[in-house]
Amino acid sequence: MFAGMETTGPLPAHVHTLVVGAGFAGLCMAIKMQEAGEPDFLVVERGDDVGGTWRDNTYPGAACDVPSQLYSFSFAPNPLWSRSFSAQWEIQDYIRRVAEGSGVLDRFRFRTALEEARWDDDAEVWRIHTSRGGLTSDVLVSAAGALSDPKLPDIDGIDSFQGEVFHSAQWRHDYDLTGERVAVIGTGASAIQIVPEIVDEVAHLDVYQRTAPYVIPRRDRPYTKVEKLAFKHLPFVHKAYRTGIYWGREMLVPAFVLDPRLAAPAKKAAQLNIEKAIEDPQLRDKVTPTFEIGCKRILISNDWYPALTHEHVDLVTDRISKVTAGAVVTRDGTEREVDVLIMATGFHATDLPIARQIHGRGGVRLAEHFAEVGMQAYKGATVHGFPNLFFIVGPNTGLGHSSMVFMIESQVAYAVDALQAMRSSGVAAVEPDPEVQRRWNDDLQRRMRRTVWTTGGCSSWYLDPHGRNVTLWPRTTYTFRRLTSRFDTENYQATRKATA
């Protein structure tokens, strides 16, 4: 927690708008509500700091794979970025500075976890229980993120393991890996950053790979003194960088949603990345992906493949059958002794944990509603049957190619416009028309059919257990911004405030 902040002040009995989560999304929501003159809002956060995923993911090597000029708020440019792809600490530092400079922190309550939110249809309020007491709110905004709850693999015997076990998002900085026999499970975005960082410390490293990812070179470099001076004194230079990166990323969309052959240069780059680092033909085979590029997140690294070539590193591709007190056993019967198990196994992305805590009209639990109809919302923001609930980073708003911060700003603008529209028209509660919501999602799923996420021959966290892509946005971020530029009251059912 950073100093000088009132973090655990009392909760009011009632607040107009309650925001859950203090990452990029919750902070943006708070800043934009303040700018819009919203008088009564509060942000609750289960952790003890702002930052969300950037506060939690402190594993060695944690860094962003979207250039920081774009992976930052448009309204808070940071001339201090030290390099093109910033490290976790630099992003966390940025989020803190923006939070402190924005004057909204007195509205934040840290160490306050949402336990339950129940819509009361008679009173038209959310009845909220938190770890620090109850309150009611007219509007509930979930800014809890899609990659906030670590997913642990369901491996036989894992509870019997006598060594250390931890998830990449809950890194044990108090545990020294020096000289240890370590197993990393997973080869996703987190694992490929961790392995090169710890490889020289450990005595032995087993990397358990279920699916080989595409890994292209990381074109990262420190900014020069001249660039830094220009960012500081010539704001248009900063803006030009951001704009260039933005449109460069937007141009990648057709390769994901129309024809993966357009990603041939990236596929070639991934292949050369392997050939440059790995000589052993067997290891080359093991790391060569067997699905279409883009189907899973395309990863960027210059040191992942070199790390795998160390003498004391084994890339294990046999499936894990169980874990014993001191070893990982694969299906071929091989037992590999280890002291530490690091789970780089991702997050609960298609089964949002917060949905278990939210009950809409008639007491329906959002998680059960999603289980029945699939995780879906209207414009990624609102759900029929759950009045006055707004998601930031809701269903189908994730990206495979660009900055989530851009999407967050679009969704925040939409939610703030909704608050203003409700206030000016005397509306007490809004929820999307069910037919409009159905059409929106039918259109999304129709577009999904031809995307590489569906046709690319992989399984990924983008898809729910029914194979529906419920996480990603299948169009440009520019289109999303246009579609969320105004709160479209006409597509909502509204109840007016009772007049005395």
The contact set with ligand NAP (CB under 6 A) reads 63-65, 147, 153, 155, 168, 185-191, 208, 210-211, 297, 320, 344-347, 461
Q: Which is nearer to ligand NAP, 38 or 90 (CB)?
A: 90
Residue 240 phi, psi dihedral angles, 5° rounding: -65, -40
Q: For residue 262, give every residue at least 6 positions away whose Cβ sits within 8 Å of its Cβ, in sequence order, or none.
A: 254, 255
CA distance 374 to 390: 17
Integer Rg of the chain from CA: 23
Q: Which is nearer to ligand NAP, 104 or 245 (CB)?
A: 245
Nearest distance, CB of residue 407 and ligand NAP, angstroms: 12
CA distance 389 to 382: 6
Q: Which is nearer to ligand NAP, 21 or 387 (CB)?
A: 21
Q: Which is nearer to ligand NAP, 153 or 157 (CB)?
A: 153
**Side chain identity at 20, as an amino acid letter?**
V
Partnered with residue 215 across adjacent β-strands are: 299
With H, G, I as helix, E, B as strand and everything else as coil, classify residue 4: coil
Q: Which is nearer to ligand NAP, 376 or 402 (CB)?
A: 402
Nearest distance, CB of residue 39 and ligand NAP, angstroms: 36
Nearest distance, CB of residue 247 and ligand NAP, angstroms: 20
Pull the structure tokens for residue 218.
């990381």
Nearest distance, CB of residue 457 and ligand NAP, angstroms: 13
Nearest distance, CB of residue 303 and ligand NAP, angstroms: 14
CA distance 445 to 456: 16
Residue 336 phi, psi dihedral angles, 5° rounding: -115, 115
Cα 138 → chain centroid? 27
Partnered with residue 81 across adjacent β-strands are: none
Place of tokens 């037919």: 435
Nearest distance, CB of residue 199 and ligand NAP, angstroms: 17
In this structure, how many other beta carbons lie within 10 angstroms of the beta carbon of residue 267? Answer: 19
Q: Which is nearer to ligand NAP, 440 or 453 (CB)?
A: 453
Q: Which residue is nearest to ligand NAP (CB)?
A: 188
Nearest distance, CB of residue 158 and ligand NAP, angstroms: 10
Q: Which is nearer to ligand NAP, 125 or 349 (CB)?
A: 349
CA distance 296 to 461: 8
Residue 135 phi, psi dihedral angles, 5° rounding: -165, 170
Pull the structure tokens for residue 196.
């090169």
Q: Which is nearer to ligand NAP, 11 or 50 (CB)?
A: 50
Nearest distance, CB of residue 332 and ligand NAP, angstroms: 15
Q: Which has the closest alpha carbon to 245: 125, 380, 403, 376? A: 403
Nearest distance, CB of residue 75 and ligand NAP, angstroms: 21
Cβ proximity of 12 and 44 under 8 Å: no
Q: Which is nearer to ligand NAP, 17 or 477 (CB)?
A: 477
- Please report, for residues 18, 126, 154, 172, the alpha-carbon distance to residue 138 in angstroms, rounded to integers and kept in the order given: 8, 6, 39, 40
**Side chain identity at 192, as an amino acid letter?**
I
Nearest distance, CB of residue 446 and ligand NAP, angstroms: 24
Q: Which is nearer to ligand NAP, 100 or 303 (CB)?
A: 303
